[in-house]
Structure 1
C-alpha cells in the first residue's frame, strides 16, 4: 500500500539463545532452603502424627475400636489443638520455603536426564500435596468446603502421599541437606558472609509471623490465651451456655416440636424406653470434661447426666464388654449414627448428659440428651440422642 512503511524484521533468535531468567537473590540458596525446610519438616511431622490420632479416633478399624484409651481426658483436645497450630505454622513455613526455592523451577534445560525428570516429578508431587494439605486444612477450620469430595478421607489419603514425598525428597537431597545443615557445615562456609545477616532477618521474620499466627489462634484450645484469640474462627466462651456450636439444631433439622413426644429407646436383650422425667429421676453423675472439635477448638465444661454403662446394664449389656450404637434425631449427616467401643461405653465418665454448666441442655447443645465421653472428638459426642443400642 502506498505511503506506508513497515519495520524490517530483526534477526531470528535460535533456540540456543533462549535462556531462562537469572535469579541472583542472596537468599535463594541451599542454606536458606535447608534452614526453613527442617522446621517445615517438623511441622508436617507433627501434623501427620496428630492427624493419625484424630483419624483413628473418628474411624477406628474393628480391632482397635475396643482398645482406644479414654485417658487422659484432655488427650484429644491437646493433640487436635496441636494439629491445627502446627498446620497454621506450616502455611507460613511453606510459603517461605517455596519463595526460597522457586528459581529452581526455571532451571535450563528443564530435564537433563531420566533421573532428573523423576526428581522433578517427585518435587511436583511434594509441592502439590503439601499445598493441598495446608490449604484444605485451613478451609476445614472455617468449615468452608468448596469442593465435591469428602474432606476427611481425601485429606487423610493425601497426608500419606505428602509424607512419602517428603521422605523421598529428604533421601534424594540428603547430601545437600548435610552440607548446609549447620553454620559450620562445608557448604555453608563457602557462602558469602554478608548473606548471613539477610538470612537471619528472614528467619526471624518467619519466626515472628508464626508466633503472631499462633498467639492469635491457639487461644481457641489453650484457654489461658483466649484473650488473644483474634484470628481463630471460634472463641471458647462464645456460644449458647458458654460453649461454641458447630452444628445448630436448625441446621440438623431438629425443632422443639419434634421433641414433644421424645422418648429414649434403649435396645438390648431387655429393651426399654424412658421419658425425660424418668431419666432425670435416675442417679445423676457430675463430671468435668472438655469437648474438642476437629477444627481445633476445645472447652472444658461441667456435665451432669446418667452413666451410659448403667443404661446398657439395665438393657442386658455385659459390663465391660458391651459396645454401643447411638442414633441422633438429626435429619442427616455423616455422624447421625455413631458407634462407641466397649472401653468408652463402660467408662464411668461417659454420660448421657442432661445438663451443661448447671443448666438443662439448650436445643443447640443437644436437648434433651447428648453423649459426653472422655478423649473423644466432638463429632462423636452425639447430640439429640433418641436411641441407644447394645452391640
Structure 2
C-alpha cells in the first residue's frame, strides 16, 4: 500500500482572498489599459477592411503606445505578486470538486499561461529580441484575446468571492501586513515605470535605466530601429535617385526637382511599437501636393514603396485622411539637416498619429490606388 502523501502546508499569512483581490484590482486595471491600447496599435498597423483612421491628434499614437508599453511593464510585478498570493491553491486536494471549480481551474490555467506569454514576449519585443520561430504580431494579438476571455471567465466564476473582499480598507488582523505588502508593490511598480517610461515621456528621459531606447540617442538625436545597412539600402546617389508618382497623370521627379518644390515644415513625433517616441522638426513636400499633381482623387489611398530590400514594412499604405493631411510630408530634412541615411535619405514619409513602422523610409514610389 502506498503511503498517504499530505499536501504541503503554507504558513504565509497573506495568501488570502482579500490580499489577492486587492492586488487583482491593480492588475486588472493594468491589463485593461494594455489590452485597449494594444487593440488601437494593432488596428493602426493593420486596419480592418477600409477603416479610415484619424490623423489627429498628432500625438495620439505616441500616447496610446506609450501607455501600452508602460502598463505592460507595470503589470509584471503585479502579476508576480498576484501569483505569489494564490500559488498555494495549486496544491489543494482534490484538484477538482465541482463543475464550477473545474471552470475556475481552467480559467486560471489559461489566464496565467497567456498572461506570462504576453508580458514576456511583449517585453522582449521592446528590445527587438525574438528567440522564437513564430511571428510576434499575430501571436501576441491572438493570445491577447485568449487572456481577455480567460480573465472574463475567471471574474465570472470568482465574482462572489471578489465582491466579498472588494472593500479598499479592511479591519482584519492582517490589515497592517497587507498594507505593507501593497506599499512595497506600489514602490516596485513605480520603480519599473519611472526607469522605463522616459523612452516615450521625454521629460523623464534622464531616469531611463532599463528601457532599450534613449529617446535622443541616434543620428540627428533620433533613435533608429533599422539602419540603411540592415535594410539593404546602399549609398543613394543624388543624380540617380528618382521619385515615381503614379496616378491619372503619372510623373517622375529627380532629387533636385523634389527639392525645388515648395517645402513645408512640421513638428511631429516618431512613435514606435517598442514604446519609444521622440518629436522632431521635419521639412519636405506635402504628399497632398504630390497627389494633386498626379491628378489623384480626394478619396484615393496611396501605397508608399521603399528602396529597402530586407525586413518588413517595405510597403505601407496611406488612407485618404493621412494622405491629404497638410502635416503629412515626404520629408527631406530632419532638425534642419539633410536626412541621415539611417533616417531614410533622400526622402521618407512622416505623418501625424501614425506608427513608426509605417513612416516609410527611403521612399521611391507613391502609387495612387483607386
* TM-score calculated relative to the size of structure 1: 0.92
The equivalent position to 2:201 in structure 1, one of 194, 217, 222, is 222
Structure 2 unaligned residues grouped into runs of 5+? none
Cα RMSD for the two superposed structures: 1.3
Q: Output the CA distance in 1 between the equivalents of 2:147 and 2:168.
A: 29
d(CA) in 2 for partners of 1:282 and 1:258? 19
Instruction: Tell me, in whole angstroms, the C-alpha distance in 2 between the residues paired with 1:154 and 1:198.
Output: 40
CA spacing shift, 1:154–1:260, aligned 2, 3 Å: farther
1:76 corresponds to which residue?
61
With 232-241 and 331-340 compared, the bigger mean Cα shift is at: 331-340
Match of 1:103 in 2: 88
1:157-176 alignment to 2 at 5 Å? 157-176=142-161
Q: Is the 8 A contact 1:19 1:108 kept in 2?
A: no
Structure 1's unaligned 5+ residue stretches are 1-11
Q: How many residues align?
A: 369
Q: Given the superposition, is the C-alpha separation of residues 25 and 50 from structure 1 closer, same or farther in structure 2, using an over 3 Å criterion?
A: same
Residues 1:204 and 2:183 are matched in the alignment:
yes
Question: What is the CA distance between 1:82 and its match in structure 2?
Answer: 0.6
Describe the SS at the equivalent of 2:291.
Answer: helix
1:126-137 counterparts in 2 under 5 A? 126-137=111-122
Cα shift readout 1:296-351 (whole Å, capped 9, x = no counterpart): 11111000000001111111101x31210011011032210111101110000000
- TM-superposed CA distance for 1:93, in Å, is 0.2
SS in 1 for 2:50: helix
Aligned residue number for residue 284 of structure 2: 305
- 1:70-106 Cα shifts (integer Å, max 9, x gaps): 1110000000001100000001100000011000000
Aligned to 1:378: 356
User: Please, what TM-score do these two structures have when normalized by structure 2?
Assistant: 0.97
Question: 1:274 maps to what in 2?
Answer: 253
Give the counterpart of 1:240 among 219, 228, 236. 219
Distance 1:267 1:33, change over 3 A: same
User: In the alignment, is the contact (CA less than 8 A) between 2:348 and 2:362 conserved in 1?
Assistant: yes
CA-CA distance at 1:258 after TM superposition: 7.0
SS in 2 for 1:295: coil
Who is 2:130 aligned against?
145
2:339 matches 1:361: yes
- Specify the SS of the correspondent of 1:63: coil
Mapped partners of 1:163, 1:259: distance in 2 = 51
Say if 2:236 and 2:346, in contact at 8 Å, map to a contact too.
no
Paired residue secondary structure (1:68): coil
